[in-house]
A and B are shown apart, each in its own frame.
Chain A
Amino acid sequence: AQRVTQPEKLLSVFKGAPVELKCNYSYSGSPELFWYVQYSRQRLQLLLRHISRESIKGFTADLNKGETSFHLKKPFAQEEDSAMYYCALGTGGFKTIFGAGTRLFVKA
């Protein structure tokens, strides 16, 4: 079955602390993984995708096919990182499967 699992509904860290949002996927083919973010009162938007291998706003994510994971990491969290984060799986077609989301709260 095609599935995306984000085990944490809420993650709370202090400003300056490292943050890791976990994402595991289930897919038998070659996956395309994304992280989407929704800031307060803004629309859902793409943060990064594994194929581009870039760092956006200090966030990185590495696809680990052995562990079927695509965790999102940032070494030093900022207050403006507080948002809802969704891990998403592209399955070779036009549909994207979204995880349940993790709300990140960065405390001052």
Chain B
Amino acid sequence: SAVISQKPSRDICQRGTSLTIQCQVDSQVTMMFWYRQQPGQSLTLIATANQGSEATYESGFVIDKFPISRPNLTFSTLTVSNMSPEDSSIYLCSVLAGGRNNEQFFGPGTRLTVL
């Protein structure tokens, strides 16, 4: 299993500013993901955070808007840049335990409100 913590747990930000969310895992993991969960909607994968290389972004998400760092196998950050009210959402960090098609573990989420 994997225990994931995220900081901050919530924040209220002004339009045009940026917020960096941290994700810490209690064990080394290869696969780390960032999701967005908008109110009343499902989880949408933003990107896969790759250790030692650039993140892999899903369609509709770009590095300029959501830069990601992955300096080691236990830590990652997601920055939400130049925020607008449409970015208000819960952002989730997740890791894959084991290999392909295995259980995913999720962090507690960061609730972001943009005014």
Interface residue stretch chosen among B64-72, B80-88, B101-109: B101-109
Which residues of A have CB within 8 Å of B41? 100
Q: What is the CB-to-nearest-CB distance from B91 to chain A, in angstroms, rounded to a whole number?
A: 13
Cβ proximity bits A13-51 to B, threshold 8 Å, 1 near / 0 not: 000000000000000000010101000000111100100
Interface residues on A, range: 20 to 34
Say whether B43 faces chain A, with CB atoms less than 8 Å apart: yes
What CA separation (Å) do A49 and B97 show in the bound complex?
14
What CA separation (Å) do A32 and B99 show in the bound complex?
13
Structural contact, A49 and B106, CB atoms closer than 8 A: no
Structural contact, A94 and B42, CB atoms closer than 8 A: no
Interface residues of chain B, those whose CB is within 8 Å of chain A, are 31, 33, 40-43, 45, 48, 92, 96, 100-109
Interface residues of chain A, those whose CB is within 8 Å of chain B, are 9, 32, 34, 36, 43-46, 49, 86, 90, 92-96, 98-101
